[in-house]
Amino acid sequence: MSLTVVGSVAFDALETPFGKREKILGGAATHFGLSASFFTQVNAVGVVGDDFGDEEWDVFRRHHINTNDIEVVPDGKTFFWRGRYDYDMNTAHTLDTQLNVFETFQPKLSENSKDARLLFLANILPTLQKQVREQMPDAEFVAMDTMNFWISSMKDAVIETIKVCDCIIINDAEARQLTEEPSIYKAARAIMDLGLKAVVIKRGEYGATLFTRDGYFAAPAYPLESVFDPTGAGDTFAGGFMGYLAAHTEINDETLRRAMIYGSVMASFNVEKFGTERVDGLDYPEINERFRTFKQMTHFDDIPFERATAA
Amino acid sequence: MSLTVVGSVAFDALETPFGKREKILGGAATHFGLSASFFTQVNAVGVVGDDFGDEEWDVFRRHHINTNDIEVVPDGKTFFWRGRYDYDMNTAHTLDTQLNVFETFQPKLSENSKDARLLFLANILPTLQKQVREQMPDAEFVAMDTMNFWISSMKDAVIETIKVCDCIIINDAEARQLTEEPSIYKAARAIMDLGLKAVVIKRGEYGATLFTRDGYFAAPAYPLESVFDPTGAGDTFAGGFMGYLAAHTEINDETLRRAMIYGSVMASFNVEKFGTERVDGLDYPEINERFRTFKQMTHFDDIPFERATAA
């Protein structure tokens, strides 16, 4: 049932219309791991500097995330990102990026991490993603993320990595950029044709859509009146999605659909507070209550229209 | 069970990346009426010139739409609109607008039209919409559309009209413009507070959302790989929505939700061909098959997560 994630562990400095934080826990593997930890046992693979303190490690410990494969570089500094969001919370403005120890990150997977049934390759160099995937030939379901920077600078490597995965979880702009196809539906099918079983397109405030070989599922976004801090929402979605799948023996259309909703549920919580604050403090009743709300938001009775029923 | 619509009946000249048409039947009342005619008996109120020919009248006749209140102005010319769509099919570029007889349109409702249970005020001068609504004080459910032009030039009149309606069906940009509220959820609630029972926000390729006093429903868009001609999609949506409601004695959360889906179904057909071509030729099996597809696109089993279920 376990799940391994490889990706960044970082410090973020954030500024939104609602406030700011100077140095808080962030990173793709962090947001993914926290979210997934509500559903399954998570192994996190990453690298930090020795400026990574007890307060940060405690967040992982609280959620029983295995951090044995998070390498600590002596005298190294942890990946740092400073970003700002204006009222259009859909776009992050990067003010500063210090890769630090992440610049030379070489993922080292212990046997325990390699034994996981599921693997998530968070957004890192596509060639590194591929190397990690090849260290886990028996993984049952492997999903990946990527970003516009890699698509524009090394698209071939991104495609080679996609070819060894089962699922990709990206946003609509990345799907269009990768395929040069304006229609998100054609784009998703084109990516699927690289050999994937599932393509998940994240559409921000419009929700997320799942494409499988012969299926399509539309998950709405939770109607949040205000997004407090969108940082990590995509990784939190992926964590709920993969975590839910890891908790089930069957990965089929039904579990994939519910995984889409649990991913949406977790992402909707993530944006309610800064960084990891909201997800860190979540409990199961809250999670399932919001899951039920998603059901209510989309449910309608399957009653075909008959002219005769006309009143 | 009947439904009255007041709005434009027009000739359109269209150009899309897929082809062009010089002078085809169009107009809000036309698209709305055709769509609604599959569900209920429709009375259309509008005005045309004597250039409006048998070919056009036949479209209304085929669908048993009562055209007694479509005034024909001798020696008058029918409202004409010329538009172009580029690959971004979301925005229409208006090349020419000739209001002609529509410029002095004074809706005249026969007793038959006034007796309808439901009324749809398509996008016309808001003061005219209000006058029509006041001619039908006993209407059970009145919905309206409007446009950015009226919101910017006479917002007060738009608001006065909203106050005498039960429902508004507008796109997200219009909702934001009307309320100066970036959050579509806050915008919808603000519009609801003017006294509406329901607010429907059309979100183009992202579907449509229904807000009621205490409910929220998200309808996805149909995953069309290519939109052929979006002209009239919004009115076709409204026609399916209002037509479905007119066919049912109860207007409640359940029928409103299915009405949202039937509206989405009809709009998804409308954009597959030029103008009214596709909807004109529709049949019930096609409509209900697509309704079922919408169900499949959004269905998931309401199974809460239990840590114990972890494999």
Question: What CATH number did the domain enclosing A243 receive?
Answer: 3.40.1190.20
A300–B261 C-beta distance less than 8 A: yes
Count of the separate structural domains present in chain A: 1
Q: Which residue of B has its CA nearest to A88?
A: B182
Output the pLDDT for position A311: 41
* Lowest pLDDT segment from A105-109, A185-189, A224-228, B269-273: A224-228
B11 touches chain A (CB under 8 A): no
Q: How would you label B32-67 residue by residue, b for 16+ Cβ within 10 Å and e otherwise?
A: bbbbbbbbbbbbbbbbbbebbeeebbebbeebebbb
Section A106-135 average pLDDT: 97
ipTM for this model: 0.90
Q: A90 by DSSP, 3-state: which?
A: coil
User: Distance between CA B264 and CA B246 in Å, rounded?
Assistant: 16
Section B202-215 average pLDDT: 93
User: Is residue A13 one of the residues assigned to a domain?
Assistant: yes
Output the pLDDT for position A308: 58
Residue B309: pLDDT band with limits 50, 70, 90: very low
Q: Which residues of A touch B40 (CB under 8 A)?
A: 310
User: Distance between CA A80 and CA A294 in Å, rounded?
Assistant: 35
User: Is residue B307 one of the residues assigned to a domain?
Assistant: no
User: Is residue A307 one of the residues assigned to a domain?
Assistant: no
User: Is residue A280 one of the residues assigned to a domain?
Assistant: yes
Q: Is the pTM of this model over 0.90?
A: yes
Section A173-195 average pLDDT: 95
Residue B1: pLDDT band with limits 50, 70, 90: low
Residue A310: pLDDT band with limits 50, 70, 90: very low
Output the pLDDT for position A200: 98
User: Is residue A309 one of the residues assigned to a domain?
Assistant: no
Output the pLDDT for position B311: 41
- The larger pLDDT score, comparing residue B87 to residue A281, is at A281
Domain of residue B110 covers: 2-297
User: Is residue A204 one of the residues assigned to a domain?
Assistant: yes
Contact A67, A89 (CB under 8 A): no
* Lowest pLDDT segment from A84-88, A281-285, A297-301, B43-47: A84-88
Q: What tens digit of pLDDT does each residue of B218-250 get?
A: 999 999 877 889 999 999 999 999 999 999 999
Picking from A4, A33, A34, A40, the residue whose alpha carbon sits closest to that of residue A248 is A40
List A residues 185-224 in contact with B (Cβ-Cβ < 8 A).
185-186, 189, 203, 205-207, 209, 215-218, 220-221, 223-224
Residue A1: pLDDT band with limits 50, 70, 90: low
Indicate which of B37, B251, B298, B303 best probes the interface with A, i.e. most A CBs within 10 Å of its own CB.
B298
User: Is residue B80 one of the residues assigned to a domain?
Assistant: yes
User: Is residue A311 one of the residues assigned to a domain?
Assistant: no
Output the pLDDT for position B158: 98
B295 touches chain A (CB under 8 A): yes
HSE (CB half, 13 Å, CA atoms) of B168?
31
Q: How far is A18 from chain B (nearest CA, A)?
A: 15
Which residues, including other chains, have CB under 8 Å from residue A93's CB and lie 6 or more apart? Answer: A83, A84, A85, A86
Output the pLDDT for position B308: 58
- The larger pLDDT score, comparing residue A204 to residue A27, is at A27
Whether pLDDT at A89 is above 80: no
